Amino acid sequence: MAAEQNVSRVLAIAAHPDDVDFGAAGTIAQWTDAGLEVSYCIVTNGDAGGSDRLVSRTEMATIRQAEQTAAAKQVGVHDLHFLGYPDGQVEATIALRRDLARVIRLLRPDRVVCQSPERNYARMGASHPDHRAVGSAALDAVYPDSRNPFAFPELLADEKLEPWIVREVWVSGSPTPTNYVDITSTFPRKVAALRCHVSQIRDPDGLEEFLRGWLSRAASQAGLPEGRLAEAFQVLQTG
């Protein structure tokens, strides 16, 4: 795969447990199969998720971390970082930019996957306020925060985290995608990953059909043959 040249480490940043699986798990399975090391950074614990009011919110956070950890395994990801921000209240603050710059400097990814800071009017679910806030802070963390030694100087002074340049960013949920990945071969693993989010999936029987409809629309936008499935990204060169 030509696109994988010189890329060995990938960091996927997302607002909630399950976001990475909806947006990119089929693509990530292909990357880990190709030998890329992929890590996840999940900003919230997803403690506002689910519909069961009898489950305490603290309990829900624990459940969702475990679900995301199990989902990651389905696509070859074993390194997860949970930042523990309150679900539903994320803003693109300086503190969040610092936390994301810290993770980027620690893991030194060649490629970051994140959510779109832009509202996608065609897909409201992609544009949850937490997604937009995390997408915005992630892009700010890629440029300029993680590469500028004078941004958050305490990361270097106190934590010895050297500046790092992320060379490319793959934005999921973008209203203007540029790249489509044919994920037909890894679709069963994407479904398996999503099925791990038991507390979130209200209609497990309808899940696969829902995903097929959505991913085949992306495949047809990409000009792929009938029956193929694709995930869509806006790829930015940030090196």
Please give the residue ranges that form the binding site for Zn ion (CB under 5 A). 16, 19
* Closest distance to Zn ion from the beta carbon of 126 (Å): 9
The burial of 113, by beta-carbon neighbours within 10 Å (0-12 exposed, 13-18 middle, 19 or more buried), is given as: buried
* Closest distance to Zn ion from the beta carbon of 75 (Å): 17
Residue 2 DSSP one-character state: G
* DSSP for 106-125, written as a single string: HH--SEEEEE-SS--TT-GG
Structure-block tokens of residue 184: 């037909």
* Closest distance to Zn ion from the beta carbon of 200 (Å): 9
For Zn ion, the closer of residues 15 and 104 by Cβ is 15
For Zn ion, the closer of residues 16 and 111 by Cβ is 16
* Closest distance to Zn ion from the beta carbon of 135 (Å): 11
Residue number with the shortest CB distance to Zn ion?
16
Q: Is 141 helix (H, G, I), strand (E, B) or coil?
A: helix
Compute how many other C-beta atoms are within 10 angstroms of the C-beta atom of residue 235: 15
For Zn ion, the closer of residues 39 and 172 by Cβ is 172
For Zn ion, the closer of residues 16 and 102 by Cβ is 16
Give Cα 170 to chain centroid, integer Å: 9
For Zn ion, the closer of residues 16 and 64 by Cβ is 16
* Closest distance to Zn ion from the beta carbon of 157 (Å): 34
Q: Find out whether 230 and 218 touch, Cβ atoms under 8 Å.
A: yes
